[in-house]
């Protein structure tokens, strides 16, 4: 079955880069997503990448995909205190299909 | 359009009671999804609709759970004979469906259920 794993916690200083990692087991995963969840709120889509891509950059966000190792990472440049939240990676096999989420990584940004 | 709307935001109920949650998706989205999120975990898929048709149900969706989307617009999720283990955040999401340039869902803020 599908399994998506993330480390639980990451702490960085304001202005540093943050790198949040994710591994998945299903080689048929086609779409990979990063979501952000702030306390008491729903999930906000940050970015996504197709499995035929290695990298995608969107302003301060860079997604790297190593399909061979089934490893996905999200790099946040110049991390701000407002970036403190829980970050979830998720995968799906087809667009618009069900998502399988990891357990989330809590990012704490210290001033 | 203000996004995906869920009501109520919070629900406290006694064990054994029935509860119903409502989700209003983004109006032009034809797919609607329900997820459950327990504390410290990622969301888990429950079920989804394409218009009014319920296309997939997770094994997590026991017989006590039923979801409807009668006219292909809003959806309701009902839990009968609630148990303490049903306490969770119930998230609704919508998407334009396959073939769209937007491959991500839009999530609502969720309904937090507490069963006492």
Q: Give the pLDDT confidence score for residue B68 in this predicted structure.
A: 96
Query: Within 13 Å and on the Cβ side, how many CA atoms surround A103?
Result: 9
Of A9-23, B10-24, B80-94, B95-109, the least confident: B95-109
Question: In angstroms, rounded to a whole number, what is the distance separating the alpha carbons of residues B33 and B23?
Answer: 9
B42 Cα to chain A: minimum distance (Å): 4
Q: Give the pLDDT confidence score for residue A2 in this predicted structure.
A: 60
B8 Cβ under 8 Å from any chain A Cβ: no
Q: Give the pLDDT confidence score for residue A42 in this predicted structure.
A: 85
Q: Are B100 and A44 in contact (CB < 8 Å)? A: no
Query: Choosing among B48, B50, B57, B103, which should be mutated to test the A contact, i.e. which has the most A CBs within 10 A?
Result: B103
B51 Cα to chain A: minimum distance (Å): 13
Instruction: Provide the pLDDT confidence category of residue B103 given band limits of 50, 70 and 90.
Output: low
CB atoms within 10 A of CB B2: 6
- Chain mean pLDDT for chain B: 91
Instruction: Provide the pLDDT confidence category of residue B1 given band limits of 50, 70 and 90.
Output: low
pLDDT at A32 over 70: yes
Tens digit of each residue's pLDDT (9 = 90 or more) over A39-96: 878 899 999 998 888 999 999 999 999 999 999 999 999 999 999 999 999 998 876 6
Instruction: Provide the pLDDT confidence category of residue B99 given band limits of 50, 70 and 90.
Output: low
Chain B's closest residue to A8, CA to CA, is: B40
Mean predicted confidence (pLDDT) in B88-106: 79
Query: Choosing among A7, A23, A43, A104, which should be mutated to test the B contact, i.e. which has the most B CBs within 10 A?
Result: A43
Across the beta sheet with B19-24, what order do the strands follow?
B5-7, B19-24, B75-79, B65-68
Q: Give the pLDDT confidence score for residue A55 in this predicted structure.
A: 95
pLDDT exceeding 90 applies to what percent of chain B? 73
Sign of the Cα torsion B83, B90, A24, A31 reads positive
CA–CA distance from A69 to each of A18, A25, A65, A72, A89 (Å)? 21, 9, 9, 9, 16
Q: How many residue pairs from chains A and B have C-beta atoms closer than 8 A?
A: 61
Q: Are B42 and A44 in contact (CB < 8 Å)? A: no
Q: Are A101 and B33 in contact (CB < 8 Å)? A: no
């Amino acid at each position: 079955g599908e399994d998506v794993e993330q480390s639980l916690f990451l702490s960085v200083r304001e202005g540093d880069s943050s790198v949040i990692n994710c591994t998945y087991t299903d080689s048929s995963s086609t779409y990979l997503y990063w979501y952000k969840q702030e306390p008491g709120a729903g999930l906000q889509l940050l970015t996504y990448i197709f499995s035929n891509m290695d990298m995608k950059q969107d302003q301060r966000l860079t997604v790297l995909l190593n399909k061979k190792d089934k490893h996905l990472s999200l790099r946040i440049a110049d991390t701000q205190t407002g970036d403190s939240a829980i970050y979830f990676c998720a995968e799906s096999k087809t667009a618009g299909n069900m998502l399988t989420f990891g357990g989330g990584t809590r990012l704490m940004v210290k001033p | 359009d203000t996004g995906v709307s869920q009501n109520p935001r919070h629900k406290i109920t006694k064990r054994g009671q029935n509860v119903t949650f409502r989700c209003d998706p983004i109006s032009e989205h034809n797919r609607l999804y329900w997820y459950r999120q327990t504390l410290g975990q990622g969301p888990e898929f429950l079920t989804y609709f394409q218009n009014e048709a319920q296309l997939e149900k997770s094994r997590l969706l026991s017989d006590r759970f039923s979801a409807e989307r009668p006219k292909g617009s809003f959806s309701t999720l009902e839990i009968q004979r609630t148990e303490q283990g049903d306490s969770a955040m119930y998230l609704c999401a919508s998407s334009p469906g396959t073939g769209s340039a937007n491959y991500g869902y839009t999530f609502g803020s969720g309904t937090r259920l507490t069963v006492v």
